[in-house]
Amino acid sequence: MVSFFESFFEFQKTAHQLLFSWIPFSMGDAIYILLGIFLLYYLTAIFKKSKRNNAIVKILSIINIFYFTYQIFWGMLYFQTPIIKKLSSQDSPEIDKAKELAIRYLEKCKITRAAVREDQQGVFLITSLNAVQKEILKQQTKLPSSISNKKVSQVLSIKPSLFKNVMSFTGILGYYNPFTAEAQYNSELPATFVPFTTAHESSHQLGFAREQEANFVGYLIGVHSSNMDLRYSTEYFTLKSLLRFIVEDDPEFVKSVLTHYSPGMKRDRAYEKKFVYSHQGWLDDFFGFTNNLFLKSNQQEGSVTYSYFIDLLLNYEK
């Protein structure tokens, strides 16, 4: 059945990208807005005694149709064979190996950071987002066959979300819309986040449902790229993920690595921290909690762990 839904996903993805990719805004977000309007209308109707029963039936019908369609288009892909089983070695991640890799990616980041543009404040600036997106499609065709046998579409359907203002306060960087096969990203994010987030969401478009597997495929897409913006964002994400994995066991090591950031990397980190702190609040906590529940209900460890990505990364590097 999982194999059937994998094949069905390729069919519906192709059809939906042909239908929606040419539209300049996110059609998936527009559908969500219309759905929200319908639900709000029927929710208000519940308070009217004459319409209450009908409104409840309508709400339950909309929710059931929405959930059933979601499972058909996307939900079953969470049951695919995990990527970790496709790698030759499946050892648990070790701190010492993670430290070695962190030092290696620190040096990579320093070199790549020196090759990218900066704004007037000395913070990383993307030269051309369109060039990054085209490079992502190109790199998808170069994924190792041992890891991915997905069909690569050359249709560009990566769009900024219409909900960017809200997303900035939720901690959500981007998302894949299974109803339109569009990849959305928050265009308000610091530039260091955007290229890798785009690669991550494009990995969902390929059919990798699990979040940390999409991170890993996004890593494979970006780490060998000739586009310096994409490579720097990918290497920087990888370094940060390694440090988050290490910090509980050896916070002093992490502090040492942070002090050895290049001046440009330090400015990027300060800008990221400023952005995060200025958008913290109850929405961030709420969406973090609900996202954690969602991930755990879909064959994943939850939103707070990077261990599976580190598992994949260390085994692949080995």
Tokens representing 49 are: 């005694």
DSSP-based three-state secondary structure for 147 = coil
186-201 tens-digit pLDDT:
999 999 999 999 999 9
**What is the percent of the chain with per-residue pLDDT over 70, rounded to a whole number?**
90
**pLDDT of amino acid 300:** 47
**pLDDT of amino acid 151:** 85
The reported pTM is: 0.89
Burial call 33-55: b when 16+ CB within 10 Å, e when fewer? eeeeeeeeebeebeeeeeeeeeb
73-112 tens-digit pLDDT:
999 999 998 998 888 666 666 889 999 999 999 999 999 9
**pLDDT of amino acid 198:** 96
Burial call 289-314: b when 16+ CB within 10 Å, e when fewer? eebbeebeeeebeebebbebbbbbbb
103-146 tens-digit pLDDT:
999 999 999 999 999 999 999 999 999 999 999 999 999 999 88
User: Which burial class, exposed, middle or buried, applies to 155 when counting CB atoms under 10 A from its CB (0-12, 13-18, 19+)?
Assistant: middle
Q: By the 8 A CB rule, do 162 and 25 touch?
A: yes
* Cβ-based neighbour number of residue 280 at 10 Å: 11
Tokens representing 208 are: 């990798």
The rounded mean pLDDT for the chain is 88
Q: By the 8 A CB rule, do 30 and 165 touch?
A: no
Is the model's pLDDT at 2 over the cut of 90? no
218-242 tens-digit pLDDT:
999 999 999 999 999 999 999 999 9
Rounded distance between C-alpha atoms, residue 139 and residue 141, angstroms: 5
Is the model's pLDDT at 33 over the cut of 60? yes
Tokens representing 296 are: 């755990």
Beta strands per DSSP E along the chain? 117-118, 124-125, 158-160, 174-177, 182-185
Is the model's pLDDT at 302 over the cut of 80? no
